[in-house]
Amino acid sequence: MKNFEKDKKLCLETTQISSGSKYDGHLFKWVEDGTHEEVNELKLEGTFLINDLKLQIENLKEEIQGCKNEMKNFKRKTICAFWWLVCCGHCCLL
């Protein structure tokens, strides 16, 4: 960063947008204020989107776990039905 002396007020040639500190003597203060506000709004919006996506991921994980449990139950029932048919079919043939 380069510092310049202007009317005995410190004027920064470039400032960090996230710093939030601006000096009245800065030539591009209004542009920086607008940019600073837009960046903060976008950061907030991005945070909301990230939290929403995390919630959706958790919901999908729960739904996948439920599907896995249903598949296990179906597999057990299918095996039981197969063995029941084998045993009953064998008993009926005797």
Full residue range of the structural domain in which residue 18 is found: 3-93
DSSP the chain: --EEEETTEEEESS--GGG----TT-TTHHHHHHHHHHHHHHHHHHHHHHHHHHHHHHHHHHHHHHHHHHHHHHHHHHHHHHHHHHHHHHHHH-
pLDDT per residue over 27-51, tens digit each?
556 667 778 888 889 999 999 999 9
- Say what the pLDDT of residue 7 is: 47
Q: Which residues of the chain have pLDDT under 70?
A: 1-31, 90-94
Number of domains in the chain: 1
Average pLDDT, the chain: 78
Q: Against a cut of 0.85, is the pTM above it?
A: no
